[in-house]
Amino acid sequence: MVNRHSILNLRRRRSDVKIEPFTSADIAHLPPLQPEGWLPVGPYYEFYVKASFCHPVKCLVDGRVVGIGCAIRHRSTGWLAHIIVAPDYRRQGIGTLITKWLMDFLINEFQFKTIHLAATPMGEPLYRQLGFRRISDYVFMRDGRLKDESHVQTVSFSRDLRDAALAMDMAASFEDRSQLLEPHWSEGRFVMNNGVLEGYYLPTLGEGYIVATRPEVGLSLMQLKHRNGGVAVVPEQNNVAMRHLKENGYIEYRRGTRMIYGEPLPWRPEMIFGRIGGNLG
């Protein structure tokens, strides 16, 4: 059962605690909330405000924006993303209030039975209290470089690839993420074998999404992505990708925890050779 004491105490102490939609006008309030070591959150919230399947909110205490968060809605599954609390309001129930509000929104408004998020070490205990459980770690690796020795040929996107590409993403994630993927097909690179799609790389989607049905194809697309180095983030279950990165000088430097609330999904992390991001898996 969720412990609501901190929320109740906050409400007793503060005369005006509200959860409201986050709008483009609120972008100006983000710098004081920016967590150290994170990528700038402004561009993410600019995207959330514009995307019809994203529902960003802010928490106001006495008129001040002290916390933010976003619910991301796929066809039948949801993600919680970028839940951030101002440093001077942490451990006062703000994070719990935002998270529970977003969960209730997805469950009550859309009848979602599965919600994901990626947790930092600071946030994981809170999410466990709310019923989330760990299903994987995302492994962050850097300081290496992959040689561009791929013999796999890639092709540009054509409309006849769309259904196969969506089916491959569904096989990997077990989520219908078509609204998210659609704007990024045109910049993607696709690997075909005798007329069958075996993998693709979407460089403009988040951190650069790579999905493949065969390890050889996934590694080749990783070589395309990381030929100049850069951070690689893969699920811990993708042993092929992790081993290849280590063999080419990459060093693990941190992890993020993928968590789930509700019904589990039969996702296939061994197909993912580059995640989209902590906000989307």
pTM summary value: 0.91
The C-alpha atoms of residue 89 and residue 233 are separated, in whole angstroms, by 31
Same-domain status, 150 and 102? no
Q: For residue 227, how many C-alpha atoms fall within 13 Å in the half-sphere facing its CB?
A: 9
- Chain-centroid distance of CA 193 in Å reads 30
Give residue 223's identity as a one-letter amino acid code. Q
| Domains: count for the chain | 2
**35 domain residue, yes or no:** yes
Going by pLDDT thresholds of 50, 70 and 90, the confidence category of residue 147 is confident
**74 domain residue, yes or no:** yes
Tell me phi and psi for residue 239, to 5 degrees: -65, -35
Same-domain status, 145 and 197? yes
pLDDT value at residue 39:
86
- Chain-centroid distance of CA 87 in Å reads 23
Question: Which domain covers residue 204, as residue numbers?
Answer: 141-274
Q: Which range, 2-6, 12-16, 177-181, has the best average confidence (pLDDT)?
A: 177-181
Angle at 14 between CA 56 and CA 48, to 5 degrees: 5
209 or 123: which leads in pLDDT: 209
**121 domain residue, yes or no:** no
Give residue 137's identity as a one-letter amino acid code. D
Does position 152 have pLDDT exceeding 90, yes or no? Answer: no
Does position 11 have pLDDT exceeding 80, yes or no? Answer: no
What are the beta bridge partners of residue 58?
A: 20, 68
